[in-house]
């Protein structure tokens, strides 16, 4: 067997070719990762940090005001919900003494996390002491976030719930 620098048989060996291919793939993947790291920064610095901090503070204050009201509420939803099926949703909101509240407005907001164009709202109608109902139909299957916004004067109370709509 003749071994020297001029021997061309080494490049035909599958082990040598495999190691060279591994090296090329490794270097290419690293080059891609380095490019992506520099082309899309991690956004650790928020441009409007002051406004976001104020919004967080206002949200926190609103939650504390809501807690001080002493209101409580529950959203009653059908056990199974299907697309394009009109169903009744009921919100029951009570005060500190567990008596039903008569409110100025109660609105159901439906948000679709994957498609904001499908969001909608429905004004709920009173159906008894502290009970408000709305007939709602969802056009698309999937996850929906429901928010009930109850207002009386300047007081506001929110109920949130995630819902799954079957096809």
Q: Contacts for 116-125 with beta carbons within 8 Å, 24 or more apart?
A: 124/89, 124/91, 124/148
Q: Where do we find the tokens 């002051």? A: 50
pTM of the model: 0.65
Tens-digit pLDDT profile for residues 90-100:
999 998 888 88
pLDDT of residue 40: 79
Q: What is the pLDDT of residues 47-82, one digit of tens each?
A: 777 887 788 888 888 888 888 888 999 999 999 989
- What CA dihedral angle connects 18, 22, 25 and 28, to 10 degrees? -130
């Amino acid at each position: 067997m003749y071994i020297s620098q001029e021997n061309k048989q080494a490049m035909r060996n599958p082990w040598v070719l495999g190691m060279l291919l591994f090296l090329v793939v490794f270097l290419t993947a690293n080059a891609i990762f380095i490019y992506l790291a520099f082309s899309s920064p991690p956004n650790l610095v928020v441009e409007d940090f002051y406004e976001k901090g104020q919004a967080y503070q206002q949200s926190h204050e609103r939650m504390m005001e809501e807690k001080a009201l002493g209101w409580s509420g529950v959203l009653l939803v059908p056990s199974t919900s299907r697309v394009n099926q009109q169903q009744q949703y009921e919100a029951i909101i009570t005060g500190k003494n567990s008596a039903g509240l008569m409110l100025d407005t109660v609105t159901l907001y439906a948000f679709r996390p994957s498609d904001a164009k499908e969001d909608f709202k429905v004004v709920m109608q009173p159906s008894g002491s502290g009970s408000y109902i709305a007939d709602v139909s969802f056009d698309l299957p999937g996850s929906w976030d429901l928010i009930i916004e109850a207002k009386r004067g300047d007081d506001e109370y929110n109920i949130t719930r995630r819902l799954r709509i079957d096809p």
